[in-house]
Amino acid sequence: MTNCINHFSTFIYSLLIVIFVLSCNSGEEPMTGGEMMFDLVPPSGIEISAVSETSFRVEWNRVEGAEYYEVTVARDMQLDDGVVPYIDLRENGLGINVINLQSSTTYYVSIRSVINGEESSLSNPAEVTTLSEPDPEPDTALKDVATTFAMGMAVRSSWLTGQHDAVLRREYNSLTAEFEMKMNIMYPSEGRFDFSRVDAIVDYAEANDMHVHGHALIWHAATPDWVENFSGTDEEFEEMVEDYIKTTVSRYQGRVRSWDVVNEAFDDGSGNLRNTVFLRRMGSDYIEKCYRWTREADPDVLIFYNDYNMVIDDTKRGAAVAMIDDFIARDVPVDGFGFQMHISYQGPSKSKIASTAKEITDRGLLLHFSELDIRANPNNNISSLSEERAELQKAKYKEVTEVYNSIPDQSKFALTIWGMRDNESWLLDFWGHIDWPLLYDEQFNIKKAHTGILEGLE
C-alpha cells in the first residue's frame, strides 16, 4: 500500500513538471512594467481650417504612443507632386500652418505616425483648395457718387503732393485741416500769427475746386501755453480771443466755407462745460461770444459746434443740444452740428446713429459727420487685418453712410474721413497699438472700407 502511494505521488510531481515546461515553451512571454504595445496606425480626424489665398492650417488627432508625425502636402492625390518643404515633414505637435502656396489651387494632405522608429501607413489624403485672389475693390470716386453733399478728408499741408495729391483730387471735394487750423498753430506766440500752413491748404483747395471746413478756432487741447498762462486781466484775455477769431475768420472770408468755432466744450458723462481757460477767463457764455464774433467777421460763413461720442453719450449730447436750442431761441448764430464719428466696427448700432442724427436734423440744422474713422482692432486682438474683420469694418462704413445719405437733403453738409492711409491715422498713437481704420492701406491701395461707403451711397 505504501509503495502505491509513493508511485502516485511521483506521477503527480512529474505531471506538474511537464505542464510547467509546456507553458514556458508556449511562445508567450510575461509583460513587464516598462514595455507597452501600441497600434501602428496613421492619425485620424484630419481637419483643414483658416484657408486663405496662400495658406491653410491642418490639424489631426493624437495617436497613442506616437513619437512624431510626418506630414506630406502635394498637388495630386497620389502625393507624387510634393510641395517643399512639406514632404515627410517631421512634426512633434498636432498641427501646422502650411504657407507660401498658390491661390486657386487644390492640395492634398496625408500624415503618418512614427512609433518606436516604425512608420505607419499614410492617412487618406485630405483635400483643400486655396481661395482665389480677390477682385480689386472698385475705384469709383466717392465725390462722384455723393451728389447731395460734400465728401471730405482731413489733411496736412505736407499731404498735398505725390500720391496723396492724386487720391485727394480724385476722391474728395472738401478738406479739413487735421491740426493746422487750430490756435496753437495759427497763433503760436502773443502778437504773432502764422497762417503759412493754412494758406497752403486753402490755396490747394481753391486750385482744385474744393471746399475748406475750418477746424477748429477754440479747442482746449490746442491752446498755446501763452494763452493758458495769459498774464493780463480777464477783460484783456477776452479782447485777445476776439481779435484772434476775427483776424483768422476775416482773413479767409469767402474762402473757408465753414468753421468749427468751439470744439469739445462739454465733459464726458456729466454734460458740464469743460473747465478750460476760456471758461475760467471769459465766463459760461464764452461759446456764445465766440460764435457772435465769427459771424461778425464773416456774415456768410457756416458755424458749427463739433464734439465726439455724440451717439453713445446721451448726457453729453443732451447738454450740447440744449445749448444749441438756447442759441436758436436767442438768435445766437449757429448753422450746424458735427458728430466726430470716431467709432469701431463693433458699434454703435445703425439704429442708434440714425436716432441721434434725427435729433439734429429735426431742428433744421446742418449735420456734419465730421471725423469718421472706424477701428478694426479696438480690442488689440489681431496682428493683421483679416478678411473677416475687413468685411465687418466695411459693413459699418456702409451703415454710417446709409444713415447720412438718408437724412433730409436740407440737413446734408459733408461726410469727412479723418485721414487717408491706415498708417497715418492719429488712432495708432492715441491707443498705442496697430489698427487699420481708414479707406486706404499704407501702399495707397483701396480697401473694403472704401467699398462700404460706395455701397452706402447707392
Q: Tell me, what's the pLDDT at 226?
A: 98
pLDDT reading at 12 higher than 80:
no
Q: Tell me, what's the pLDDT at 440?
A: 96
Q: Which of 264, 288, 399, 402 is catalytic?
A: 264
Q: Tell me, what's the pLDDT at 135?
A: 78
Q: Tell me, what's the pLDDT at 458?
A: 86
pLDDT reading at 20 higher than 70:
no
Q: Tell me, what's the pLDDT at 132?
A: 87
> What is the pTM for the complete model shown?
0.75
388 is written with which cell numbers? Answer: 473677416
Full set of structural domains in the chain with CATH? 47-129 (2.60.40.10), 142-457 (3.20.20.80)
Confidence of residue 37 (pLDDT cuts 50, 70, 90): confident
Could you tell me which residues come within 8 angstroms of residue 57 by beta carbon, excluding any fewer than 6 positions away? Answer: 48, 49, 50, 95, 96, 97, 98
Q: Which of 178, 180, 371, 402 is catalytic?
A: 371
> What Rg, from alpha-carbon coordinates, does the chain have?
37
pLDDT reading at 16 higher than 90:
no
Q: What's the chain's average pLDDT?
A: 92
pLDDT reading at 13 higher than 60:
no
Q: Over range 135-142, report the average pLDDT.
A: 90
Q: Tell me, what's the pLDDT at 26?
A: 42
pLDDT in tens, 203-219: 999 999 999 999 999 99
Cβ-contact 393, 435 below 8 angstroms? no
Whether 288 is catalytic is no
pLDDT in tens, 64-85: 999 999 999 999 999 999 999 9
Bridge partners of residue 454, in order along the sequence:
none
Q: Over range 10-29, report the average pLDDT.
A: 43
Q: Tell me, what's the pLDDT at 153?
A: 98
Whether 264 is catalytic is yes
Cβ-contact 343, 374 below 8 angstroms? yes
pLDDT in tens, 347-402: 999 999 999 999 999 999 999 999 999 999 999 998 999 999 999 999 999 999 99
Q: Tell me, what's the pLDDT at 35?
A: 54
Q: Tell me, what's the pLDDT at 31?
A: 42
User: What is the C-alpha separation between 171 and 174, in angstroms, rounded?
Assistant: 10
User: What is the C-alpha separation between 400 and 412, in angstroms, rounded?
Assistant: 14
User: What is the C-alpha separation between 73 and 88, in angstroms, rounded?
Assistant: 8
User: What is the C-alpha separation between 81 and 405, in angstroms, rounded?
Assistant: 54
Cβ-contact 243, 250 below 8 angstroms? no
